Amino acid sequence: MNQGGDDLDDDFVIDDLVALSEEEAAPDGAFFSDDNDEDAISVDDDADNDEQQPSAAAEEDAAIAKKRKRREKEKERKQKKRKLAESNTDEVQQSIAAHTPIEISAFLSSKQASTFKTLTDFELSDMMVPDTAIADTTSWTQPRTLDHLVDFIIKTTPTLHKRLSQKSKSNGAPTMLFITGAALRVADVTRILKDKKLRGEKGGEVAKLFAKHFKLQEHVQYLKRTKVGAAVGTPGRIGKLLCETDALNINALSHIMLDITWKDSKSRTLLDIPETRDEVFKTVLGGEKVQTALKEGKIQVVLF
């Protein structure tokens, strides 16, 4: 039912009784009275009422039809706008993830500029993720959904697949960081990355890193005692572990996967939400050690 409108069905035909306004209807129930006070109502008055009743009904019908038509047009406009927004968002995100490393580098640079608004173009160019540090995943033609994540890794990043199945040498030193925008998504991805198709029998643990329910020190202690093959987390928590502690080591890190297919309730991705976007570029990709490794070709960024 539309908000702010009437509750009449589309085929409702208003009758003459309902069409009468309060002023036209007889007061105090006199309309239904058995009294026949012919002295109170003249013949001329009756004639006037006979003319007014159809006229009032016609006006009411016209007003109802006009209101209904306006509501239907507004509803149709909103539906078209919503469908257009959804299709545009899907098209943009799919095309970005499936584009070449050069195009993805330009896209990341534009998002980075939104984070560092006061920097000059020259300063931004020194911080941008080079196309040589972006994995080419154009061979993948299936949907980029969690159902396909394992196969996506196996097909597009075979080196990462091999490394995930190997035994980790050091505590807290994953070969992959998977960055996503919400704690629930972290939990879902963690379960998927535990698949034996990826880890085999020797692969390291899959760390689940987000702030909700876990203190930073708890993750520090966990990483320092655990051989981790992959770490999944929100950019805020992973950024803190990279920049403020020595628990998350990048010595074995070969891939950083950005989960741009996830969307929040407002259909915003990891790089659309200002808070998560800023954490990605300031503390995850923006850390000194990670930036150096990206430029040296030791770490590749993957858009999923």
pLDDT band with cut points at 50, 70 and 90 for residue 66: confident
Question: Is 60 exceeded by the pLDDT of residue 105?
Answer: yes
* Contact predicate 254/298, CB 8 Å: yes
pTM for this prediction: 0.69
- For 249-284, b/e burial (b = at least 16 CB within 10 A) is bbebbbbbbbbbbbbeeeebbbbbbeebbbbbbbbb
pLDDT of 94 over the 90 cut: no
267: Cβ contacts below 8 Å, ≥ 6 apart: 85, 86, 89
Where does 100-303 sit in CATH, by number? 3.40.50.300
Q: Where are the domains of the chain?
A: 16-86, 100-303
Q: Mean of the pLDDT values across residues 269-273?
A: 93
Give the per-residue pLDDT at 169: 86
**Which pairs from 79-88 meet CB under 8 Å and 24+ separation?**
85/267, 86/267
Residue 85: half-sphere exposure toward Cβ, Cα within 13 Å: 9
Task: Report, as an integer, the average pLDDT of 52-78.
Answer: 73
Residue 71 has what pLDDT?
Answer: 78
* Pair 250, 241: CB distance under 8 Å: no
Q: Is the pLDDT of residue 46 over 80?
A: no
Q: What is the pLDDT of residue 213?
A: 81
Instruction: Give the pLDDT of residue 54.
Output: 56
Checking if the pLDDT of 192 tops 50, the result is yes
CB of 142 closer than 8 Å to CB of 152 = yes
Q: What is the model's pLDDT at position 80?
A: 60
Give the C-alpha separation, 188 to 27, whole Å.
68
Q: Is the pLDDT of residue 114 over 80?
A: yes
DSSP collapsed to 3 states, 229-246: EEEEECHHHHHHHHHHCC
| pLDDT of 15 strictly over 50 | no
Decide if pLDDT at 45 tops 70: no
pLDDT of the residue at 2: 45
* Paired tokens of 41: 């109502």
* The most confident of 16-20, 21-25, 49-53, 60-64, by mean pLDDT: 60-64
Predicted pLDDT of residue 212: 79
Q: Is 100 helix (H, G, I), strand (E, B) or coil?
A: coil
If we measure between CA atoms, which residue out of 4, 14, 304 comes closest to residue 155?
A: 304
State yes or no: pLDDT of 180 exceeds 90: yes
